[in-house]
Amino acid sequence: MGGYSGSSSFEFEVERYKSRENGKLYAAIPGTEQSVNIMEDDGFEYEYVTLKLDVEGRSYFSPGRLSGPPEDCYPDEGETEICSVIGPDGQDWRDQLSEEEESMIIDMIQENVSQGLDGPDPDDYYDDYE
């Protein structure tokens, strides 16, 4: 696999329970204690909603050298980060993501950048020398 570097922007959908009484959102993650409590509410005062989040992130990967003299070898290097997750309300949603949702977003950023779907990272000055 060759190296890559760039940024990615896309929409990501999350599902939540929304209180009809106060509009507060609750995680819709099966098996979590919070979801169980919501499901057991006799009043069914919650509706299931899908929200679109605007995600921005960046990723890079530089393949290592794994053969040859030991002094010429080095490991792979790379990182993927979520720069922002903005909800329909214009607020930061980063702290409201589950671990699974965050992992899915990181995978999507990495895949988009590695396939060149969004373009080079404007903060990466190394792109000028490739």
Q: What confidence tier does 36 reach under pLDDT thresholds 50, 70, 90?
A: very low
Average pLDDT of the residues in 88-104: 91
Task: Please say if the pLDDT value at position 129 is more than 90.
Answer: no
Token reading at 45: 């005062």
Scanning the structure block, which residue is given the tokens 């890559």? 4
Residue-wise pLDDT for 52-65, tens only, equals 999 999 999 999 98
Token reading at 3: 């190296």
Beta-bridge partners for 79: 60
Mean pLDDT of the chain: 81
**What is the pTM (predicted TM-score) of this model?**
0.73
What percent of the chain lies above the pLDDT cut of 90?
Answer: 42
What is the rounded distance in angstroms from the CA atom of residue 7 to the CA atom of residue 59? 6
Task: Please say if the pLDDT value at position 128 is more than 80.
Answer: no
